[in-house]
Structure 1
C-alpha cells in the first residue's frame, strides 16, 4: 500500500497540475472556448482508449513494464509545453500524457482490490482516494493562480513529477503477482449502473475544473472555488469509504446525485452576470465536490461488488473509462455549449445530465461473491 500511495501521489501531482493549466495555456495561445475544451478532451480520449487495453497488457507484459511505462508517459511529454502554446502542440502533449494516465488509473484501483480484504475495501479506497485527491487540492485549486503569478513554466515543472513515480512503480511491479486470469467473460452488465453514475458526476466535475478560471471575474475566485471543490471531494471520498464498509454504499448514492445537481445550478447562477457572486459559487463548488468525491468511492465499490475477483482488472478498467470519459465529455461538450451560448447555460446542462441518473442511484445492484 505505501508503494501504491507513493506512485499514485506522484502521478496525480503531474496530472492535477496541468488539468486546469493546460487549457489556460491554450487560451493564452489564442484558442477559443471550443479549442480550450479539446485540451482535456484529447487527454481523456487517449486515456480511455488506453484503459481498454490495460488488462490485456498486464497479462502479456506483466506489472513491472506496464506500471513504469505509465509513469513515464504521463510525465515525459509534459516537457513539450515549454516549447510553445500552439493548440496543436498542446493537444499532442495531452494525447501522449493520456496514455500514461490511462495505465496508472486502471492499475492503481486494481491493485487496491487485489491487496485489501473486501471487508475493509471501502476504507482502503478512501486512503487511495486521498492519494489521488491531495494533489488535486494542492494543484488544481492553485494551478491557475501560480501560472499567472509565477509563470506557466512553474506548473509545467510540476507536471514532470510522474517521472519520479517510476521508482515505486518499478519496485511495486517486481513484487506484484499476476492477477488471476478470468475463465469467463466479465459481467459488464453489472458494471453499467456504477459507470453511468460516475460518468455523469465526472462530467460535472471535469467541466468545472476545466473552465472555472475562465468563468469567474477574478483569478483569486477560481483558486478559492477550486480549493473548496477539491477539499470537499477529498473529505467525501475518504469518509464515505468507512461508512460504506459499515452501512453499505447504496444508501449514500442518491443524496450525492442530488447534491451534484444543486451544486451545478448554484454555480450556473453565480456566473450568469459579469460580476461573479462568490458566496453562491462557493456553495455550489462545495456541493459538487461532495458529490464528485463521494460518488468516485461508492461507484468503485459497487463495481468491485458486481464482479468476481478474477474480473477486478476489467471492473477497474470499466470504472476508469467511465471516470475519464465523463471528464473528457464534460470538457468538450460544456466548452462547445458555452461557445454557442454562455457558461451559465452550459453548466446548467451539466447539472441536468447528473439529475438524469437519479433513477440509477435509487436502484439496487446485487453483489457477486468470489
Structure 2
C-alpha cells in the first residue's frame, strides 16, 4: 500500500476466515516439517544411504515447485476452499502410508505427493491472505501470516528428528499424517471464492513489475539454501543448530515488523536495507569457527530475510493478481533454496567454505542496484493522492 493511502483507523483484519486460514496452514506445515528431516533419514536407514536421503528432499522440492506453477489455474477453477483442502490431503494421507515400506522408491513416491501438497497449500494460503486482509493493512496481514507459518518450522524440524530417535518412525509418521488432516474442518469455513481479477497498476508492466522483485527475493533464498544445508558442515553441528534457531526466530519477527512498517511508510524503502543485512549476515559466515560471529551473522541474515519476505511480497501484490503473485513468489522461494544448495555443492570443492560464503554474499549484494530500480517503480505507481 502506498504510505499516503494508509488510514488512521482500519477494520480489524483478524476475521473468522483469516483465523481459519491460518489454522489450516499451520496444521499443514507442521505435518510437513515433522517429516522434513526424518523422512530422508528413514530412506537412508532403509538402504538408500546418503544418496537416497538427498533424493527424497530433492524430489519433494521439485514436486513443490511444479505444483506451485499449477495453483493459479486450480484456484481459478476450484476456488480457495477446495484447493487448500487438496493441499492438506496431499500432505496428510501419503504420510500415513510411509510405515508400509522404507524402500527408496516408496519413500520417493510419498515425498512427491507431499511436496505437491506443500506447493498447493502455501500458494493458496498466501494468495488468500492478500484477499482477506484490508488493502491498507496487507503488509501487516502478510507479516502475521508469516509468523503463523514460521512456527511449524521452529517446532517441527527438531521435534520430528527427536521423536524419530526416541519413539521410532511409526508414531512420527502417524502424527505427521493426522495433523494436516485435522486442519480440514477449518478449511470448510473458508470462502469458496476464486481469485479476483486485477488490472496492472499504471507505471508497472506485467513482467517488469514482478520479475525484478522475484529476482531480488530469489537471490536471498539462494543464500538461505546454502546456509541451511552447509552451515552444519562448515563448523560444528551444535553451533549451526543454535545459529539456525536464532535465524528462524528472527525471520518471522522481522517479517511482521516489516509489514507494520510497510503499511505506514511503504515497503519499497525496506528492500535495500534487507539486502544489505542478508549480504552482511552471509559474509560473517566466513568466520565459521567463531561462535559469536556465526550467531550474530545468522541473526542479521534472519532479520534481513524476514524484511525481504514481507517487502517483496507486499510490493508484488500491489502490482499483480493474488494467485499469480503468490505462485511466482513461492516459486522464487523454493527454487532459490534448491539452486543454492545444489550450486554451492558443485563449487565447494574449488572454493572451500570461506570463499564460497563470500561468493554467496557477493551474489546477494549485487541485488542492491535492482532494489533502487524497484523503488523507482514503486514511486511511479504511488502517485500523490488528491488533497
TM-score, L = length of structure 2: 0.81
The 5 A counterparts of 1:177-188 are: 177-181=193-197, 187-188=206-207
Q: Note if 1:217 corresponds to 2:236.
A: yes
User: Aligned match of 2:264 in 219, 224, 246?
Assistant: 246
Q: Does 1:205 align with 2:224?
A: yes
Question: What aligned pairs does 1:217-296 form with structure 2 within 5 A after superposition?
Answer: 217-218=236-237, 220-270=238-288, 276-296=289-309
The Cα of 1:140 is off from its aligned counterpart by 3.3
- Tell me if 1:301 matches 2:314: yes
SS class of match (1:179): coil
Report how far residue 180 of structure 1 moved: 2.8
Deviates most, 119-128 or 253-262 = 253-262
CA displacement 1:32-58 (0-9 Å, x = unmatched)? 4x7655443322221121111111112
> Aligned partners of 1:207 and 1:216: how far apart in 2?
14
Structure 1 gaps of 5+ residues are 271-275
Q: Aligned partners of 2:165, 2:63: CA distance in 1, in Å?
A: 28
Instruction: For 1:255 and 1:38, locate their aligned partners in 2 and report how far apart those are by CA, in whole Å.
Output: 36
Q: Residue 354 in 1 paired to residue 358 in 2?
A: no
CA spacing shift, 1:368–1:180, aligned 2, 3 Å: farther
Match for residue 26 of structure 2? 9
Report the Cα offset of residue 76 of structure 1. Answer: 2.3
Contiguous gaps of at least 5 residues in structure 2: 1-17, 383-387
Give the 3-state SS of the residue equivalent to 1:62 in structure 2. helix
Provide closer, same or farther for how the CA distance between residues 115 and 209 of structure 1 changes in structure 2, counting only shifts above 3 A: same
Q: Given that residues 13 and 158 in structure 1 are in contact (C-alpha distance below 8 angstroms), is that contact kept between their aligned partners in structure 2?
A: no
Aligned length: 357
* RMSD (Å) for aligned C-alpha atoms: 2.9
Matched residues in 1 for 2:161 and 2:350: separation? 25
Q: Is the 8 A contact 2:78 2:194 kept in 1?
A: no
| Counterpart in the other structure of 1:105 | 122
- Give the Cα–Cα distance (whole angstroms) in 1 for the partners of residues 168 and 232 of structure 2: 16
The more displaced of 354-363 and 154-163 is 154-163
Matches within 5 A, 1:155-166: 155-160=172-177, 161-166=179-184
- Alpha-carbon distance in structure 1 between the residues aligned to 2:184 and 2:136: 30
Who is 2:333 aligned against?
A: 323
User: What secondary structure sits across from 1:53 in the alignment?
Assistant: helix
The aligned counterpart of 2:9 is: none
Are residues 191 and 141 of structure 1, via their aligned partners in 2, closer, same or farther at CA, if it must alter by over 3 Å? farther
C-alpha distance in structure 1 between counterparts of 2:355 and 2:55, whole Å: 19
* 1:264–1:348 contact (8 Å) kept in structure 2: yes
How high is the TM-score relative to the length of structure 1? 0.85
> Is 1:40–1:210's contact at 8 Å kept on the other side of the alignment?
no
- Deviation at 1:338? 4.2
